[in-house]
């Protein structure tokens, strides 16, 4: 929304509002696994919603027992641990209702977030740790936090959804130790697309977004 203006929506009894999410499933590599390209927007569904739907329908019709999706990474989150040297900044943001889940990843981070939530009764809790890394031989405390959380997420990737933000700015050994910011929640291919909307409506033109997704799949050579 660009303004705080609001208006009512005329509906008849039994009608509701549905936000469409477009996706493409490509079976070119079906012998390995199908490729899924999924539209993400603020109002629409998530990949997890589609997966739950497929599992439910599959179970009801005895087609599948379970399912999961594997992100196509631009580089495994695990490799980040090998690249990070001295930390400059660590940013963590969690909704108050998800703080208890962080405990399964790192007790110290949980304790800090829980104390802030209890003390200030805020909806979200954010921690921004900054290190004067140039004046230190190492930033062991910060690196240990990152290592514990990343290792925890490798075993429990579902816990990534507990965070609204989880980034670390650190020296990158692959870039001559220049500072780089690593988003520990993004281990998948992501593209920003400009798509057409139906005139007068905030509705995506399906033909256009499908075309855009197909071009992006080819451009990033995800079918190689």
Share of the chain above pLDDT 70, in %: 78
Question: Which position has the higher pLDDT, 128 or 69?
Answer: 128
Strands 163-172 and 84-95: antiparallel
Mean pLDDT of the chain: 81
CA 147 – CA 80 distance, rounded (Å): 9
Long-range contacts of 54-60 (CB under 8 A, 24+ apart): none
Any idea where the domains of the chain sit in the sequence?
A: 23-72+190-219, 77-183
pLDDT tens across 164-211, in order? 889 899 998 988 898 888 888 765 556 778 888 888 777 888 899 889
Ranges of beta strands (E only) in 49-122 are 84-95
The residues, ordered by sequence, that sit 6+ positions from 203 with a Cβ below 8 Å of its Cβ are 20, 197
Please, are residues 109 and 93 in contact by the beta-carbon 8 Å criterion? Answer: no
- What is residue 74's predicted lDDT score, i.e. its pLDDT? 44
Please tell me the distance from the alpha carbon of residue 28 to that of residue 217, in angstroms, as a whole number. Answer: 12
**168: Cβ contacts below 8 Å, ≥ 6 apart:** 80, 84, 87, 89, 90, 91, 142, 146, 181, 182, 184
Listed in order, strand segments (DSSP E) in 124-177 are 124-130, 163-172
| pLDDT tens digits along 33-55 | 677 777 766 566 666 677 777 88
Q: Are 204 and 106 in contact (CB under 8 A)?
A: no
> % helix / strand / coil in the chain, to the nearest 5?
40, 20, 40
Mean pLDDT of 82-105: 94
Quick one: pLDDT at residue 6? Answer: 65
What predicted TM-score, i.e. pTM, was given to this entire model? 0.53
More confident residue, 11 or 133: 133
């Amino acid at each position: 929304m660009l303004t705080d203006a609001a208006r009512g929506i005329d509906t008849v009894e039994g009608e509701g509002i549905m936000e469409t999410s477009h996706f493409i499933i490509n079976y070119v590599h079906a012998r390995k696994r199908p490729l899924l390209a999924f539209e993400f927007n603020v109002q629409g569904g998530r990949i997890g919603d589609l997966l739950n739907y497929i599992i439910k329908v599959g179970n009801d019709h005895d087609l599948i027992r379970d399912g999961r999706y594997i992100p196509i990474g631009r580089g495994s989150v695990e490799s980040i641990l090998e690249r990070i040297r001295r930390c400059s900044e660590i940013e963590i943001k969690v909704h108050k209702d998800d703080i208890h889940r962080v405990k399964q990843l790192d007790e110290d981070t949980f304790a800090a977030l829980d104390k802030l939530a209890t003390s200030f009764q805020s909806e979200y809790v954010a921690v921004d740790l900054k290190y004067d890394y140039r004046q230190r031989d190492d930033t062991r405390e910060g690196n240990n936090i990152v290592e514990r959380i990343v290792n925890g997420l490798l075993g429990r990737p579902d816990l990534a959804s507990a965070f609204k933000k989880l980034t670390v700015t650190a020296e990158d050994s692959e870039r001559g130790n220049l500072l780089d910011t690593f988003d520990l929640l993004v281990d998948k291919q992501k593209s920003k697309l400009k798509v057409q909307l139906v005139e007068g409506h905030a509705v995506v033109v399906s033909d256009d977004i499908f075309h855009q997704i197909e071009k992006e799949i080819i451009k990033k050579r995800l079918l190689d």
